[in-house]
Structure formats: C-alpha cells, structure tokens
Amino acid sequence: MERASAFIKRLLRDPALSELTPLQKEQQIVQFLHSNGSHVHSTLSHSKYFPDTPWSEIVALLEKALSYIVDDDLLPALRRIVYDQIDFSFVTFLGGSEAPRNRISDEVYQIITELLKRGPTRRALTGPYTAVYHRLAHPYIDGIYARETYIHFELTKVQRLRMGEKELKSMIDACLLLKPAIHLAHRENGQQRADRVVPARFAEEAVAELGSRWSLVPEQALRSAAHANVSFQNNRYVEATSRLVALFATRGRNYRPRLRSERGAEPPEKSWLSVARRNNSFYGFDVKMLDELYSIAAEKGW
C-alpha cells in the first residue's frame, strides 16, 4: 500500500488538478489509470513499484490508496459543509423534526459517508459535492427570487415552499448531497452508473425505504433528492427543487473555478447552459428552467 500511495501522491501533484475538488481529482486519476492501463502497467511492473505484478492487482491497489488519500481531504471538508455551511433550519418549513440541528447534521453526514463507501454512489457524488462546495446554485437562487418568474412560481405556487432565499439555498445544498442516496435502497439492482436518470417508481420505492431508516431528514427533502434522479421529460410532476438539484449536480461534474472563456466566446456559465439546453432530453432537464437560468447568467455576465 505504501508504494501505491507514493505513486498516487505523485499523480495528485499534477498542477492541472490543483483547483479541482478531491472527488474530481479522484475521478480524473481513475480515468487516467483506465485510459492508459497498458502504459501504466508497463511502467509500474518494470520498476521499483510493482515488479512483475498483474495489472488487475496494481489498479486495485492504486484505487484503494487513492480513495484513502482523497478521504483525508474530503471528510474534513464535508464536515464543514454539513455542520457549518448548510443551515438545517429549513426543515421547519417542511414540517420536519424538532430535533436539535446538530442531530440532523449527524444523520446527513452519516448518509454521505455511507455513499462514499460504495463505488457507484461515490462516483455519483462528484458533481453534487462540487456544486455544494462552490455554492453553484446560490447566485442563481438570488436571481430567481429577484425575478419572481417561472422558477419562483414553480417553487412557491406549485411546490408551495414557504421559505426565503437563505433557507432554499441550504435545502438545495442538502438535497444535492443526498441525491445519490436512492441507490442505497436498491443494493440488489447491480446498477453501475448511479448518476443516470431512473424511473419514477424506482425513486418512490427508495423514498419509502430510506424514510423508514432516516427519521430526521424531512420526507419532502428526501423526495426532492430522490426525484432529482428522475427525468422531467418523462414525469412532469417532478418537484422544482428536484429539477434544480439535477441541473446543478450535472453542472458540478466538470466544473472548474476561474475558467476563462476565449475571446469572442460565451462566458462559462452561459456556454454550459446553452449546451445543456441542446441536450435536455438526454439529461431530463426542464427547458424552461434552463432558459431562465441562461437569462440570469447572461444578465450577470457569467
């Protein structure tokens, strides 16, 4: 394991990874290892690292070492997000538990650490975690409340949320982190990609099971997180919060802070939203929601 850790630490020193979140770094290195397996195997099996060792054994050791090293940075950052950044007072607006906020934080943190122990859900957490870490939804929520148009109507009149911007930001962040949790309720399904859209029935069954396991997270928050995995194209009853979570979870996957656009090109946010609109049927996004977010980004020069 020491030799595997030493090699992984060398890869993590790549300057190209410096601005990425820990899970993004892990994703990039796993992709590198699998895309360049024969080259890496040739290098490592003829060196001091893993002489004459089969590639299957090498890559298993490297991925294990990678997850340990990443967790050293990731877990303290997650604790800061769950205990300090997210204000769980929003649960009172959902008729949630009167339990002390730190107990709700404990439950959410326990759920997330369980997600990190399983390969598919760990990978699926990359986009949501990045979105929460960089607060990607927050400036858009400010714009949504300032405009009071389509998305605000969907949140307040259709979904009937009675909360302000501050509470909604925390709710969206919490639901982002809980988005992959539906797959904890379906251990038997063998699904390898926990970041793909799922049937509404799959999500509903997960809400029922997870609600019986976790008593402090309000059902409406669990439902919003679960339905973020359901295509709005196939189910027009998906909550507005779920539609926002789905958008920002996808935005977070390959998000890079301080990315500059080339001269004459659209700014990064406008560019991403434009591409997302063209591919909305694949992701199951709400086109009208994308249009409004694009308009906000254009107005702000993002």
In tens, the pLDDT along 168-180 reads 999 999 999 999 9
- The mean pLDDT of the chain is 92
The band of 196, judged by pLDDT with boundaries at 50, 70 and 90, is confident
Contacts 24+ apart (CB under 8 A), 114-121: 114/184, 115/180, 115/181, 115/184, 116/71, 116/74, 118/183, 118/184, 120/180, 120/183, 120/191, 120/192, 120/193, 120/194, 121/180, 121/181, 121/183, 121/184, 121/194
Crossing angle for the helix pair 287-300 and 240-253, nearest 10 degrees?
A: 60
State both tokens at 29. 């290195």
Token pair listed for 167:
């509470």
Per-residue confidence at 49, pLDDT binned at 50, 70, 90? confident
DSSP conformational letter for 262: P
pLDDT of 276 > 90? The answer is: yes
In this model, does residue 189 exceed pLDDT 60? no
Inter-CA distances, 264 with 57, 58, 295, 302, Å: 48, 46, 19, 14
**For residue 77, what is the enclosing H or E element?**
helix 55-80
Say what the pLDDT of residue 187 is.
55
Across 151-155, 183-187, 188-192, 209-213, the highest mean pLDDT is recorded for 151-155
How far lies 288's CA from each of 72, 154, 233, 273, in Å?
Answer: 40, 11, 12, 12
Coil, strand, or helix at residue 263?
A: coil
Angle between helices 165-178 and 126-133 (to 10 degrees): 150
Dig out the tokens for 147 from the structure.
């405009």
Exposure string of 195-208, with b = 16+ CB inside 10 Å and e = fewer, is bebbebebbeebbe
Backbone angles phi, psi at 123, to 5 degrees: -65, -40
Lowest mean pLDDT among 95-99, 122-126, 228-232, 266-270: 95-99
Question: For position 48, what pLDDT does the model report?
Answer: 78
Residue 190 pLDDT level (bands cut at 50, 70, 90): very low
User: How large is the average pLDDT for residues 151-180?
Assistant: 97
Residue 193, pLDDT score: 58
Handedness of CA 197, 297, 175, 240 (dihedral sign): negative
Task: Measure the CA–CA gap between 53 and 44, rounded to whole angstroms.
Answer: 8
Percent of the chain with pLDDT over 70: 94
- Which amino acid would we find at residue 38? S
- CA separation for the pair 259, 268 (Å, rounded): 7
List the Cα angle 273/274/278 in 5-degree steps: 110
Longest pairwise C-alpha distance within the chain: 65
Structure confidence by residue, pLDDT tens digits, 211-240: 988 989 999 999 999 999 999 999 999 999
Band of pLDDT at residue 95, cut at 50, 70 and 90 = confident
Residues in CB range of 250: below 8 A, 6 or more apart: 127, 276, 283, 285
Element (H, E) at 131: helix 126-133
